[in-house]
Chains A and B, each alone.
Chain A
């Protein structure tokens, strides 16, 4: 217990020290990439739950990330003014609920759009429904078939996003409003709000992490580990494997959608590249290198690798490095980087 508290305090200090140091040396712009990688990491934690703890591979995580991002992007940029002028009752109802509000677009024109918070809620519900509908048939499959089916879902989402007018085709959607949380806090990419956004991202990451830890140490978590070890044995013990797998699939999709939604607001836009298969594979690589069933490992590796990748340290070898990481982790240490040290300690 004491060890845990010391560990948490240590992390807390690092988080604050990092910001102070970056600000002091005038390289605060690094925070932007750190914030982005934190949001990506939230999405990866969802995959970690599904892959590491439940043992179900998914190559469609970026698809759910994109569903969250695109849903909120479409809703917060779609101009409802024409309907408002026709006195559409539904629109008036939305305004009454504070779910729609007037704002100015980038050309200074007055438009009526759904508020970010309402869009955020809708995006979560929508992605949960989609994950539920996809999960029922797809999760019956195992191994290769599951990998291919989730890959197929990812490809279809990518194609739909790329080929549909309302999603902006290859251009994506831009000009999103900032996401006002409460008081003066807002998720947005403007450089004035950078420090504030850093702490918001950290807090959101912590909340997700705490929720996930509680989930893992609950009845559901134990059931999941049983499923991972042996599905037949779990079933024999009276665990409804299909239902638990579906739960986890939906939860991981919701987490991905949350991350997608927040990152889209932070970036102020989203492009079809977010839904591409390579993104999904990168997430899988990070889960593998973080040690599969290890939230802390996945979190650290996620933030570090995504940060390096976003800052462009890998140059044109970006994808190659993630591919190599995948293969190397599987060949030499399928338990992740952190567990190598653990194992070594045991033997010394």
Chain B
């Protein structure tokens, strides 16, 4: 067991972690604008990857990914339009049940459209055997793609929220919806936009990770649960917290193989989730006062 061995684990943890971060940010965006947890968040990843697989028959990879991202954005928009916007007297219980129902419907439709086989995408650069040597550890170039695009998404989103007018409006919505409406912000459109953004980044993350992890109609739920764990760990609604928490969870998961049987790997995120929910629901990095103001 030398250094390169651990480094390999570290990198695989980082790769998974960065996917969780993207999912967690998707959760955060929707949570900030609507105050609900979108249980169907994991399905956006699956949809993005699946539609790319389909589009790949007609067009090159890069174009297929772009089209898939837009298709998923459209689906996200439709979900908001059909199920969230029209809802009378939305209560938390109703919202939870609706998004759970949606996640099942999307999964089952995917099963009927793309069948139950495990699918994959080609590697963006090189092939299955291509490796890059870093610090004596051999890694696939796809790992760099995953890390790079995650960093790219995070930076773009940060810039968007900080400097653009719409981004500022979304942040205002997150702080106080009523006051935001008084300032002339159309909160309903902001909710639509947050669904579009979070489905878009979910779909993109799904495309990038698929060459490494494959995709199946029911692969969304486990990722969603891990993403939710990360979102809670970092404090719900706090994107910077999610980044640290995502890296933390990814690395813990990949090193857990050293101590625990593989069958329990899936349960680790859930156990962490339960511990954090019970001990400190505001998360490691969330502010307690801020959290108590929000409805949940």
Q: Which listed residue (B36, B101, B261, B264) contacts A324, Cβ 8 A?
A: B101
Contact residue among B94, B104, B266, B277 (Cβ-Cβ distance under 8 Å from A145): B277
Interface status of B278 (Cβ within 8 A of chain A) = yes
User: How far is B105's CA from A278's CA once the two chains are assembled, in angstroms?
Assistant: 12
Known A144-B92, A159-B264, A163-B264; judge A326-B274 contact (CB<8 A). no
| Contact between chains at B101 and A285 (CB < 8 Å) | yes
Query: Binary interface profile of B, 62-100, with partner A (CB < 8 Å = 1, else 0)?
Result: 000000000000000000000100110000111011101
With contacts A143-B92, A159-B263 taken as known, whether A148 is within 8 angstroms of B102 at the C-beta atoms is no
Contacting pair A163 B263 (CB below 8 A)? yes
Task: Name the contact of B97 in the complex, choosing from A140, A163, A316, A326 (C-beta under 8 A).
Answer: A326
CA–CA, A117 and B285, complex, Å:
50
Give chain A's interface residue range (CB within 8 Å of chain B).
35 or more
- Which secondary structure dominates chain A's binding surface? helix
Contacts of B36 on A, CB cut-off 8 Å? Answer: 144
Q: Are B271 and A317 in contact (CB under 8 A)?
A: no
Q: Which of B107, B267, B281 contacts A156 (CB 8 A)?
A: B267
Interface positions, chain A 137-173, Cβ under 8 Å from B, are 137-138, 140-145, 147-149, 151-153, 155-156, 159-160, 162-163
Q: Which residue on B lies nearest to A325, using beta carbons?
A: B101
Contact present for A326 and B100 (CB under 8 Å): yes
B117 close to chain A: CB less than 8 A? no
Chain B residues whose CB sits within 8 angstroms of the CB of A277 once the complex forms: 221
A327 touches B98 (CB 8 A): yes
Note all chain A residues with C-beta closer than 8 A to B261. 163
Question: Which residues of A, 322-348, contact B by the 8 Å Cβ criterion?
Answer: 322-327, 329-331, 334
Footprint of B on A, CB under 8 Å?
Answer: 55, 57, 59, 137-138, 140-145, 147-149, 151-153, 155-156, 159-160, 162-163, 277-278, 281, 284-285, 288, 316-317, 319-320, 322-327, 329-331, 334
Pick 17 A–B contacts, CB within 8 A, sort by A: A55-B93, A59-B100, A141-B281, A148-B232, A148-B273, A155-B266, A160-B267, A163-B261, A281-B100, A284-B97, A323-B101, A326-B97, A326-B98, A326-B104, A330-B87, A330-B94, A331-B86
